[in-house]
């Protein structure tokens, strides 16, 4: 069965520090992978997605993610975190055999210290 694991429930970083949020997936075929961000009281906003081609994907707000098939990972990175990046981040896999519904990880809550 398809699944997504985000090992870190909470992460705290200082403003200006680099960030890496981990995501591992279980999926039989080539996955469609997404990172969404949810700010308090808000819906989900797409940061970036991977479905083919270059394994390093650029997204909005200075985020990038790298698809590594050998590690079944799709980690999200940002070189320098801003206080406004404090939010909850969700990794998801699109179930191609299941009408592309998204299967989400549990989320990682990011706190940013000034």
Query: Which is nearer to another protein, 50 or 78 (by Cβ)?
Result: 50
What would you report as the CA-atom Rg of the chain, rounded to the nearest whole angstrom? 14
Beta bridge partners of 66: 56, 75
Per CB under 8 A, does 109 bind another protein? no
Among 11, 19, 22, 104, binds another protein (CB under 8 A): 104
Largest CA distance in the chain: 44
What stretches of the chain show up as alpha helix (H) in DSSP? Answer: none
Binding site for another protein (CB under 8 A): 32, 34, 36, 41-46, 49, 51-52, 90, 92, 94, 96, 98-107
């Amino acid at each position: 069965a398809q699944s997504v694991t985000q090992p870190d429930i909470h992460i705290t970083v200082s403003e200006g520090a680099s960030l890496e949020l981990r995501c591992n997936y279980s999926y039989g075929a080539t996955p469609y992978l997404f990172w969404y961000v949810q700010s308090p009281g808000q819906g989900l906003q797409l940061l970036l997605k991977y479905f083919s081609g270059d394994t390093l994907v650029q997204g909005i707000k200075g985020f990038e993610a790298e698809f590594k098939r050998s590690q079944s990972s799709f980690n999200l990175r940002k070189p320098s975190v801003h206080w406004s990046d404090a939010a909850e981040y969700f990794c998801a896999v699109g179930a191609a055999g299941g009408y592309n519904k998204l299967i989400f990880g549990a989320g990682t809550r990011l706190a940013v210290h000034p």
